[in-house]
Structure 1
Amino acid sequence: MQKHLVNYTTEAFRSAFQSEPDFFFLAPGRINIIGEHVDYSDGFVLPAAIDKYICFAVKKIDDSETCTFFAKDFNESFSFNVNQKQIPVKQMWANYLLGVFNAVQESGKKIGGVQIAFSSTIPMGSGLSSSAALECGFAFILNQIFGLNLSKKELALIGQKSEHTFAGVKCGIMDQFASVFGKEQQVIMLDCNTLDHQYFEANLDGYSLVLFDSCVKHTHLTSGYNDRRNDVDHGKKALWKRFPEVEKFRDFNFSMLEEVRTEIGETSFKRCIYLLKEIGRVEKAAKALSEGNIEYLGELLNETHHGLSTEFEVSCEELDFMVEETLKENGVLGARIMGGGFGGCSINLIKDENIIEAIENISIKYKEKFGIDMKVYRVKISDGIREYKRNEFIV
C-alpha cells in the first residue's frame, strides 16, 4: 500500500516537474478511539495515527524563491514566493499549506525554494483528518530540509495555527498532535490543554478497528457544534460560580452538577453530564487497551455512542441505524459515531474472523434503508509523520 502510494506520487512529481524527487514523506490520518467533544472541556482524548497517508515527493531547489505544489488528487498546482507575505486564496487545499508557511515566516525562520507533489489515501471528508496530515506534513518537510530545529510539539501547533488562521476552522490540537506524535500499535492519551501525553499499547489481539463511512454530512454540523459549546459554557459558568475552588471542568463531579441542574436547565445538564462521563471513559479505555481487555473497551465505545446520541445529541438517523445494526452482528464488541457528529464515520471493534460478514450485512442493510453505498476503511495504528528513504521502496 505504501509502495504503491509512493510510486504514484513519484510519477505525479515527474509529470509536474520533469525531474526526480529527492525526498519522500508520509503523513498519516488519525482515528480517535474515545473522547469526543472533550478537547475544549479540560478532558483527555485517545487518538492514534493510522495507515492512511498523504505522500509528499519533494525536491529542494537551491537559489530559488518559489514554493510550488502539485496536488495530484485535484490535478491542480499552486506557487508562491517565499519572500512575500501570504494571504488566504480561493484554493482551500493551498490555504492549509500557506498557513503553515505563514506561521514559520512569523517565527522568523527562513525557507528557500521547493517543489512538492502530493497524493493521499486518506478519504477526504470522512473525519480522518486529511487537513492535519497536509498541514503537519508540510511543516515537517520544511523543518527537515531547511533545518528549522522545530520540536514535534511546535510542528503540531503550527498545523493547528494554520487551520485557525488560513482555513478559518477553530479546531483543537488533537488531529495535528496524533499525526505528528503517532506510534505504531500505540494510542496517545493527550491532555489537550497542557499537551501532556502518554502512550498505551493497543492490544487488540484478534480484533480490529473498522470504520463505516455513512457518506452523509448534515448541514447543521457547524451550527450544531457551536450550539453545543454554548450549552456547555452555560453549565460551566454556573458550576464555577457555585464551586469557585474547582480549577478544571474535569474535576467537577456528578453531585456538583446536580446542584445546579435547575439553574442551568435540562439541555445544559445533559451536555455537561455527557462530558463528565466521557472524560472518565477515556482513562478507562486506555487502561483496557493496554491490558488487552477488549470486551470492556467495546462496552465503553457503546456507552460513548449512547451519550453522543441521547445526551450530547450530535448523532443522526443514519449513524444511529448503522451503529444499532452493527451491534447485532456476530463478533462486534463495540460501535460508535466518531468525530464531531451529524454524519461521518462510525468506529467499530470487530473480531477479525467476523469482519467480512459484518461489512457485507451492514452494507446491504444501509443501502436498503437509505439508498446510500457506505464506504469501509480497515485501519491499523501506525507511526506519525516521518521521512522515507528512497531505498525503502522500489520506485
Structure 2
Amino acid sequence: MNEILIQNTTAFFEKSFGKAPEKIVLSPGRINIIGEHVDYNDGYVLPAAIDKVICFAFEKSNSKTSKIIAIDLNEEFEADLTQEIELSDVVWTNYILGVIKQLQDNGFSFDGFNCVFSSNIPVGSGLSSSAALECGMIFGIKELFGLQIEKVDIALLGQKAEHWVGINCGIMDQFSSVHGLENKVIKLDCNTLEFEYHNADFKDYSLVLFDSNVKHSLFTSEYNNRRLECEEGLSIIKNHFPEIKTFRDCTEEQVLSLKDKMTEVVFRRVHFVVKEILRVTQACEALDNGNIEVLGQLLFDTHDGLSKDYEVSCAELDFIVEQAKKEEAVVGSRLMGGGFGGCAITLIKKGHENSIKEAFTSLYFDTFGIDLKIYDVKVSNGTSLYTTN
C-alpha cells in the first residue's frame, strides 16, 4: 500500500526539483488500543504506530530558504531560515514552521531544504496525522543535516511545535509515531515517559476502524469539565487515604468506599479512571499471552465506561459498538480518542471483515443517514528512513 505513495511522492519531487531526493522518510499515524482519558489522570496508555503514513522526500537546497510542497493540498510555501519564524494564516504550514522554530530555539544548526510530502493517513479521523507530520519533518531534517537528536526528543520537539501552533496536546501521539515497532504496542507512562513494549500479534483477528464521520462540538468544554471533575475526585480520595498520591495508587474498593462522599457525577468519573488504569495492565497481560478474546472484552468494558460513566461517547459510536456486540466474529470494540465522534477500534475474526463492514455500513446509513468510513490498520514501525534495499 505504501509503495505507491512512495513512488508518487518521489516522482513528484523529481518533477518539482529536477532530481531524485536525498532522503525519503515515512512517518506513521497511531492508534491507542486502550487507556483512554487516563493520560492526564496519571495512568498509562497503550498506543501503537500503524501502516498509514506520511511520505516525505527531502534534499538540501544549498541556501537559507526551504521550499515545502503539500502534494495532497496542491499548495506550497517557502520559509526563510534567516528570519524569525512566525505563525501563518495558512494553518497546515504552521506545523512545519513550528518544527523549524523548535529546532532553532533548541540550538540545532541546519540550512535550507526542499521537501514534498503526501499522506494516506485519513485527516480528522483521530489517527494523529499532525504528530506524523511534525515527527517526520524533524526526523528528515535530522537525517539530512546529521543532527544528533534522540527519539524521545523528536517526540518532545514535535509536541512543542504543536503547542506553538495552539493545540495543547499530550505526548502520546508524537511518542508512538516515533517509537512504534511492527507487531508491538507501547505501554507508556505519559508523566515520566518510561515505556515498555508488549506483543501485538493479533493472530486470527484484524484491526478495523469504523469512522463515525461525526464530530460533536462538545469536546473542548466537556474535556475541561472532565479534568476538573477528576481533580475534585482525587482530592476527596487523598483526604480519606493520605497515602494515595495519584489515581494509579488507588483501588476500586477504595473508590467504592467513598461513593457517598462524592457527587454521583464525580464518583462515576473517578470509578472509570481507576478501572481504566487497571484495564491497561490487564490488556498487556492478555497480549503477552496471545489472548485476544480477553483483550476484546476489555475494549467492550472500556467503551461501556466511556459511554456511561465518563460520558464522552455519542449515539453514533454507541450504535457501532452495540452492533459489534451482536456479531460473533467481533471480539471487541470501543470508541478511540477524546470522544463525541471519531472512530471505533474493532477486532474482527479474519474472514468475516467484509460481511461485517457491509452490514455496519448499511445499518449505520439507515439509522443516521451518514456514510460510515472504514480503515484497515496494522501495527507497524515508527518514523524511519525508507531505503530501496
Determine which of 314, 327, 330 is the counterpart of 2:328. Answer: 330
Q: Which whole-Å deviations, capped at 9, do the CAs of 1:68-123 have from their partners, x for residues lacking one?
A: 11011111112111122212111221111111111111111111110010000000
Paired position in structure 2 for 1:81 = 80
Q: CA deviation at 1:164?
A: 1.1
- Amino acid in the other structure paired with 2:266: S
SS of the equivalent of 2:239 reads: helix
Q: CA deviation at 1:264?
A: 3.3
SS of the equivalent of 2:217 reads: coil
Structure 1 stretches of 5 or more lacking a match?
Answer: none
Give TM-score scaled by structure 1 length: 0.96
SS of the equivalent of 1:353 reads: coil
Q: Which whole-Å deviations, capped at 9, do the CAs of 1:139-172 have from their partners, x for residues lacking one?
A: 1111111122110000000111111122x11111
1:244-263 alignment runs, 5 A limit: 244-263=242-261
- Amino acid in the other structure paired with 2:122: P
Answering whether residue 256 of structure 2 is matched by residue 278 of structure 1, we say no
In structure 1, what is the Cα distance between the partners aligned to 2:324 and 2:220? Answer: 27
Contact 1:16 1:70 in 2 (8 A): no
In structure 2, what is the Cα distance between the partners aligned to 1:72 and 1:221? Answer: 31
Contact 1:203 1:291 in 2 (8 A): no
Paired position in structure 1 for 2:13 = 13
Determine which of 217, 220, 227 is the counterpart of 1:229. Answer: 227
Summarize the Cα distance change of 1:262–1:371 in structure 2 as closer, same or farther, 3 Å threshold: same
Contact 2:59 2:144 in 1 (8 A): no
Contact 1:330 1:358 in 2 (8 A): no
Q: Which whole-Å deviations, capped at 9, do the CAs of 1:37-70 have from their partners, x for residues lacking one?
A: 11011111111100000000111122x1012110
Paired position in structure 2 for 1:30 = 30
1:96-111 alignment runs, 5 A limit: 96-111=95-110
Q: CA deviation at 1:12?
A: 2.5
Q: CA deviation at 1:258?
A: 3.6
- Amino acid in the other structure paired with 1:44: Y
Contact 1:209 1:348 in 2 (8 A): yes
In structure 2, what is the Cα distance between the partners aligned to 1:341 and 1:211? Answer: 14
1:160-239 alignment runs, 5 A limit: 160-166=159-165, 168-239=166-237
Structure 2 stretches of 5 or more lacking a match?
Answer: none
In structure 1, what is the Cα distance between the partners aligned to 2:297 and 2:3? Answer: 37
Q: CA deviation at 1:294?
A: 1.1
C-alpha RMSD over aligned residues: 1.3
Q: Which whole-Å deviations, capped at 9, do the CAs of 1:228-251 have from their partners, x for residues lacking one?
A: 111111212222333333222210
In structure 2, what is the Cα distance between the partners aligned to 1:24 and 1:144? Answer: 10
Q: How many residues align?
A: 389
Q: Which whole-Å deviations, capped at 9, do the CAs of 1:274-307 have from their partners, x for residues lacking one?
A: 0100000001101101211011011100000000
Q: CA deviation at 1:260?
A: 4.2
Which contiguous aligned blocks of 4+ residues in structure 1 show a shift greater than 4 angstroms?
none
Contact 2:44 2:277 in 1 (8 A): yes
Q: CA deviation at 1:18?
A: 3.7
- Amino acid in the other structure paired with 2:157: I
SS of the equivalent of 1:184 reads: coil
- Amino acid in the other structure paired with 1:37: H
- Amino acid in the other structure paired with 2:206: S
Paired position in structure 2 for 1:113 = 112
In structure 1, what is the Cα distance between the partners aligned to 2:252 and 2:296? Answer: 24
The percent identity for this pair of structures is 50
Paired position in structure 1 for 2:61 = 61
Contact 1:70 1:77 in 2 (8 A): yes
Contact 1:25 1:57 in 2 (8 A): yes
* Segment drifting more, 41-50 vs 235-244: 235-244
SS of the equivalent of 2:148 reads: coil
- Amino acid in the other structure paired with 1:102: K
In structure 2, what is the Cα distance between the partners aligned to 1:135 and 1:243? Answer: 42
- Amino acid in the other structure paired with 1:56: F
- Amino acid in the other structure paired with 1:121: N
Give TM-score scaled by structure 2 length: 0.97
SS of the equivalent of 1:40 reads: helix
Q: CA deviation at 1:272?
A: 0.8
In structure 2, what is the Cα distance between the partners aligned to 1:322 and 1:15? Answer: 44
In structure 1, what is the Cα distance between the partners aligned to 2:232 and 2:110? Answer: 45
- Amino acid in the other structure paired with 1:250: R
SS of the equivalent of 1:9 reads: helix
- Amino acid in the other structure paired with 1:48: A
In structure 1, what is the Cα distance between the partners aligned to 2:241 and 2:314? Answer: 35
Answering whether residue 45 of structure 2 is matched by residue 45 of structure 1, we say yes
Paired position in structure 1 for 2:130 = 131
* Segment drifting more, 71-80 vs 252-261: 252-261
* Segment drifting more, 33-42 vs 235-244: 235-244
Paired position in structure 2 for 1:142 = 141
